[in-house]
Structure 1
Amino acid sequence: MFNPDSRQITVIKCVVFLASLLPLARLVGYGFTDRLGANPIEFITRSTGDWTLYFLCLTLAVTPLRRISHWNWLIKLRRMLGLFAFFYAVLHFMTFFWFDHFFELDEMFKDVVKRPFILVGFIALLLLIPLAATSTNGMIRRLGGKRWQWLHRLIYLVGPLGILHFWWMKAGKNDFAEPTLFGAIMALLLLSRVYWNVVQPRMQKRRSKPAPV
């Protein structure tokens, strides 16, 4: 079993942090070298949206991987991955708010109400805000462990909403390959939690019952 010490974990966290910034560095590099394509706004929007979903999936994958591998240290990466999901979600939203609507709130809200897939994505972003705001150790102490855990279960709603946002957006182009793949991964990650938190405890409870005489 791979069981790194605190110094090794610090190195791993630094590597993950720098790797998580590579998508942003790529966008900046492409912008300076004029490689964002014929429609730069669409390229940035698609890239930041994709990476939001990648990081959501990675965040949700930490617990199943920890259970399967017994690498308990993986839990130390979950907060960082979740914050990067929020970071790229904010960049995704700011691309829409800045380049599409030039910071005009009225026009933005009209667009949000008019197009359902934007409304779904906007709700997902709003739900991510309290999760990011309460991600510190200080907030965990203030809220208490149980209340903090209940609040952070919103991620189980954010994930499907992100998939629905992506699916609805791609529906206009009749392109369902990527949303289907993301949806399958998200469903697998959420179903694994149902198995470990609901099905497995019930099975163990049945096994522990004494056999009828």
Structure 2
Amino acid sequence: MSAAFNKVLMHPLAKPVLFVLALLPFAWLFYGALTNNLGANPAEYLIRACGDWTLRFLCLTLAITPLRVLTGVSALARFRRMLGLFVYFYVVLHLLSYSWFDMSFDLGDIVKDIIKRPFILVGFAGFLLLTPLALTSFNLAVKAMGAKRWQMLHKLVYVIAGLGLLHFFWMRSGKNDFAEVAIYAVILAVLLGWRVVEVLKKKRRLPLSFGR
């Protein structure tokens, strides 16, 4: 079964299809904005929808490795980089929507708002940490940095996931609406917990070393 999935995912059209699918939320939001079909408060809808899609793509990106290991579908690794870049794409849209619709691109007001409101500060910190990951997501960066340093840098994604969830939690806490927060918390806990278990398994398999 895994061989069949690998064959499908290795098809030259697999990446273009994923690219188009990942752009569909943006296309829908863009169409909704053009047709004034985003509800009573379209600005708030755009800001929150872009933030939601950032979290969704982050979960999808983090799910690639566990799915690859558990299913044996190694071709899934081909799509991790693209999904990671779409995380950055949607977080940039999230930040731009906030800067435009809430703050009218007033840099001074944006800085004051980031400092004043902890949930925005946490979200902005996540964006700042995500930026070097997006900039170094290409093969040339891996070669320039070396695989070990590159891997260490990209482990920041776990910190980013925590900041993203905290940002979402604080944002929803004002309305005491935690249902979606709980769903993302469970998903991320499972994805990150699986990694912790795998690290512990590897440590147990290491031979004992004396004299250190």
TM-score range (shorter-chain normalised) is over 0.9
Aligned-residue offset at 1:11: 1.3
TM-score normalised over the length of structure 1: 0.93
Deviations 1:52-81 (A, max 9, x none): 000000000000000001111111100000
* 2:164 paired with 1:194: no
What letter is aligned with 2:120? Answer: I
3-state secondary structure, aligned to 1:36: coil
Which of 7, 13, 22 is the equivalent residue of 1:4?
Answer: 7
Deviations 1:28-70 (A, max 9, x none): 1111221111101111011100000000000000000000011
- What is residue 126 of structure 2 aligned with on the other side? 124
Structure 1 residues 40 and 5: CA distance shift in structure 2, 3 A: closer
TM-score normalised over the length of structure 2: 0.93
Distance of 1:202 and 1:153 partners within structure 2: 18
Distance of 1:57 and 1:7 partners within structure 2: 22
Which of 178, 181, 200 is the equivalent residue of 2:180?
Answer: 178
Runs of 4+ in 1 over 6 A off after TM superposition: none
Distance of 1:13 and 1:155 partners within structure 2: 22
- What is residue 41 of structure 1 aligned with on the other side? 43
Distance of 1:5 and 1:169 partners within structure 2: 40
Conservation of the 8 A alpha-carbon contact between 2:9 and 2:75: no
Distance of 1:173 and 1:5 partners within structure 2: 44
1:78-157 map, 5 Å: 78-157=80-159
Conservation of the 8 A alpha-carbon contact between 2:103 and 2:110: yes
Report % sequence identity: 49
After superposition, the CA RMSD in angstroms is 1.4
What letter is aligned with 1:44? Answer: L
Conservation of the 8 A alpha-carbon contact between 2:59 and 2:188: yes
Distance of 2:81 and 2:203 partners within structure 1: 29
- What is residue 163 of structure 2 aligned with on the other side? 161
Deviations 1:163-210 (A, max 9, x none): 00000000000000001110110111001001112x2123434xx78x
3-state secondary structure, aligned to 1:173: coil
Where does structure 2 lack aligned partners over 5 or more consecutive residues? none
Where does structure 1 lack aligned partners over 5 or more consecutive residues? none
Aligned-residue offset at 1:145: 0.4
Structure 1 residues 166 and 204: CA distance shift in structure 2, 3 A: same
